[in-house]
Amino acid sequence: MVSGSSGAAVASGVVAQPLFRAPVGTRDLLPPESGRRRRLVSVFADLADRSGFGLLESPIFEELGVFQRLGASNDVVTKELFEFFDKGDPPRHLALRPELTASVCRAFAEHRPTPPWKIWYSGPQFRYERPQAGRYRQFDQVGVETLGTDDPHADVEVIGLGLRFYEALGMKQVRLLVNSLGDSESRPSYVAALAEYLRSRHGELSDQARLTLERNPLRVLDSKREQDQPVIAAAPVMADFLSGASAEHFAAVRAGLDSVGAAYEISPRLVRGLDYYTRTTFEFAADALHTAQNAVGGGGRYDGLVEELGGPPAPGIGFALGVDRILMACDAEGAFAAAPAPVEVFVVDTAGGHSAAVLCDRLRQAGLGVDRAFDGRSMKAQMKRADRSGATVAAIVGPDEQAEGAVTVRDMRPGGGQRRVAEAEVVAVVTELLEGAD
């Protein structure tokens, strides 16, 4: 047997071509799902635009150093980057972006916009993770970042925008979890206390958690392993170690969330997967997803990142939401269904020649959604396509119509009639019929 990808010669002497597939951890997004995504991004764009955020489009790859600032002990940096060298002399060490916050901070440091700088983004991110349901090597995020202010109201605005977005999609089962990770003053004493506690229960931790403990004790709190849960449940919490300033900031964020009626849970052991966070951290959990991957978004403050990238002091707050997981959660909740293709008119042409091309062009120029058949198929076959397209109206040109310079306009709804009209009247007649369809 010839394997699909071997390209080996078969008996007839014809070489079987390899059957390529999308790389592991990536997917083709086909219609109508691809259209649903585009709509999701436009719902997000609309909300962000209306909240004073402008779009930033940054490169999909950056110098490796930009991402190394995400944390030296972090899996995203140490294991999951797609790195490569370009053809420069000397070659540059680059990486596909695993997230966008670092790129946004790099852009801020490079362009020095007037703060506060409020931007939104959307696009693919790349992490060499072990693929599973809801976890891909290429995935899409939408997000916002506000740079140049540490006003707690900026935190409230960002978090509130996330909540409103899930609401706008019709999702009802998203929980907001918030925590404060403290500042550079309070964090070291917490991490020391946490490490001491975890070491005291070393024997009860999973092998994986023991390794994590040596690299970054905070990340042990993120373990999903059963075995680690009793240890985590009794671990010291950051709240008891917050400096006065951090505690005040966190209280102001909570009061702000209360003022806009945003429901949240304090999650005292919430730590995030990236190392740049300070003070406010949060996650959006989708209860409709019964998998380990139920975080449909997350974010927080990163008050030192711009400076680490050579920029001026500029505290920042933002989030990124995982489009792939949001759509999975929407499916589980029965929210934000895929919309049918917006074909209003289907052009059927059994006369040959250019009638269908001319008719399609004219109708599309009038702003209508129009599709057509190809390959000179029979009337019956073309009408079947017209039916399947979901079009309300069929515009039919057969040899008789062509001879007369006319078009038969058929109302495809049950009980709908048809009539033959002069070519010049088609747009008006079809528009009138469609208006009646609303």
- Name the residues that contact ligand HAM, by CB under 6 A: 99-101, 127, 129, 134-136, 139, 141, 143, 145, 272-274, 295-300, 302, 318-320, 322, 324-325
Distance CA 63, CA 92 (A): 7
Listed residue (324, 327, 323, 273) closest to 299, CA to CA: 273
* Whole-Å CA distances, 22 to 27, 125, 168: 6, 16, 32
CB of 219 to ligand HAM, least distance (A): 13
CB of 131 to ligand HAM, least distance (A): 8
CB of 84 to ligand HAM, least distance (A): 19
Residue whose CB is less far from ligand HAM, 278 or 355:
278
SS3 343: coil
Residue whose CB is less far from ligand HAM, 98 or 256:
98
| Amino acid at site 282 | F
Distance CA 292, CA 135 (A): 10
Residue whose CB is less far from ligand HAM, 324 or 423:
324
Q: Residue 422 forms beta bridges with which residues?
A: 406
* Whole-Å CA distances, 408 to 129, 148, 346, 363, 431: 56, 63, 12, 14, 14
User: Which residue's CB comes closest to ligand HAM?
Assistant: 322
Tokens of residue 266, six digits: 């304090």
By the 8 A CB rule, do 240 and 269 touch? no
CB of 295 to ligand HAM, least distance (A): 4
Listed residue (135, 134, 155, 133) closest to 146, CA to CA: 155
Identify the H or E element spanning 323.
helix 323-333
Residue whose CB is less far from ligand HAM, 288 or 356:
288
Distance CA 158, CA 144 (A): 7
CB of 159 to ligand HAM, least distance (A): 11
CB of 266 to ligand HAM, least distance (A): 19
Residue whose CB is less far from ligand HAM, 141 or 392:
141
Residue whose CB is less far from ligand HAM, 103 or 382:
103
Residue whose CB is less far from ligand HAM, 100 or 397:
100
SS3 133: coil
Residue whose CB is less far from ligand HAM, 283 or 423:
283
Listed residue (131, 11, 129, 117) closest to 56, CA to CA: 117
CB of 408 to ligand HAM, least distance (A): 50
CB of 129 to ligand HAM, least distance (A): 5
By the 8 A CB rule, do 78 and 69 touch? no
